[in-house]
A = this chain, B = another copy of it.
Amino acid sequence: MIDPLAHVRDLFDLDDDVVYLDGNSLGAPPKAVAARVQEVISHQWGRRLIRSWSEGWWETPERVGDRVGRLVGAAPGQVVVADSTSVNLFKALMAAARNATGTEIVVDEGTFPTDGYIARSVAELTGLALRPAPPEHLDLSDTTAVVLLNHVDYKTGRLLDMAALTRQVHDAGATVVWDLCHSAGVLPIELDRLGVDLAVGCTYKFLNGGPGAPAFLYVPTAAQPAFHQPLTGWTGHEAPFAMRGEYAPDPGVSRARVGTPDIISMLALDAALDVWDEVDLKDVRAKGLALTAHFRGLVEGLPGVEVITPADEWRGHQVSLRHERAADLMAALIARNVIGDHRPPDVLRFGFAPLYNTFGDAERAAATLKELL
């Protein structure tokens, strides 16, 4: 097959004998990261010491945030990179709940656990109810305050219709918070154009930022003045170095910042994002659909295997299979250098990262699975 992104794999530090299909959990390292981090430690930290804070470090959350913003359809000044996805979810949901007139938070019922846990905590703190609901029947009303949706389901790989659901939430007078953990870097996303209220996401899956790399939070310009999040750390202050006694949030997106930014990890992510300057997300999406379709075609019908990822285009870049011996099968695959993952009780996940995965990867993975069955 023709692969317009074949050359991009050379930008990654990945062994040739490994079929790595877990980029939906931890992306592979772009080669640029190691050298950049050395420069950060040896030069910026070692030689410039404290001076580096005024030589670029301080603005890293906003600068790298803008780079992530470009990949999710956000104009500059609306994204910060900071903290973990869970912490950013807390900020987003608390800010949304505080401004809401409704009495319930709705979360898609298949949500990644942390979203549901944080939503429950926010509901308790704000006195709202929490209601899990299937995305196809959200059953919204004027009592709905906030709706939290996972753009791509972590388990099945199902992709939700962001345009239609955002409209639906707005028609109910509620605020929508999108979790982009499994869709950022997968397909073109248009946060600004669709009028999304708030969004969070992680950078260590398809964005390849490194294990536990800082997450991101999108607060559109118009929503910033009313965005009051409770983690009122000093770096979100309008004048952080004035060391004033009273908190006054930065007028812009920096109010979403909390503590001192984690520079080494954040600049590792910055280096990892360089890869995206080389590619068009439309090509990435096309190849991701082709890779997953190819793999699907090869594994469908294997004994005891049920494909639970949607067959149509409403899917992310993973193929999830159900098999009763999922845990054992994945262990055996990994022993053969075909690396996906297992989600209990019975799901095998194979993530395809179009930047470095090949059609050959799909074939070898399917052949190895067939052999094991």
Contact = CB atoms under 8 A, between A and B. Distances in A.
Interface of A: 13-15, 18, 20, 22, 25-26, 28-29, 33-34, 37-38, 41-42, 45-47, 49-53, 57, 83-87, 90, 112-114, 116-118, 120-122, 124-125, 132, 155, 202, 204, 210-215, 230-235, 237, 240-247, 258-266, 268, 334, 339, 341, 343-344
B15 A29 contact: no
A211 B57 contact: yes
A334 B54 CA distance: 13
Contacts of A237: 113, 117
Instruction: Please state the number of chain copies in the assembly.
Output: 2
B49 A232 contact: no
Contact of A343 (B20, B117, B243, B341): B243
Contacts of A85: 259-260
A38 B34 contact: yes
B262 A232 contact: no
Contacts of A47: 15
A84 B259 contact: yes
Contact of A41 (B37, B155, B202, B258): B37
A264 B259 contact: no
A127 to B, nearest CB: 11
Nearest to A268: B264
A279 to B, nearest CB: 21
Contacts of A41: 29, 33-34, 37, 210, 268
A117 B86 contact: no
B33 A20 contact: no
B84 A114 contact: no
A265 B213 CA distance: 9
B52 A211 contact: yes
B344 A241 contact: yes
A85 B258 CA distance: 9
A244 B241 CA distance: 43
A47 to B, nearest CB: 7
A86 B262 CA distance: 13
Contacts of A341: 50
A245 B263 CA distance: 34
A265 to B, nearest CB: 5
Nearest to A34: B41
A151 B191 CA distance: 45
A90 B155 CA distance: 32
A87 B116 CA distance: 20
A247 B261 CA distance: 28
A233 B84 contact: yes
B116 A245 contact: yes
A335 to B, nearest CB: 11
A117 B264 contact: no
Contacts of A263: 210-212
B46 A14 contact: yes
Given A114-B259, A117-B237, A264-B265, 17 more contacts: A26-B45, A26-B53, A37-B41, A37-B264, A38-B38, A83-B83, A83-B259, A86-B233, A114-B234, A121-B231, A124-B230, A210-B263, A212-B262, A212-B266, A213-B262, A243-B344, A264-B268
A210 B262 CA distance: 8
7 contacts: A29-B42, A29-B45, A34-B38, A87-B87, A118-B233, A210-B263, A242-B344
A264 B50 contact: no
B114 A233 contact: yes
Contacts of A33: 41
Contacts of A118: 231-233
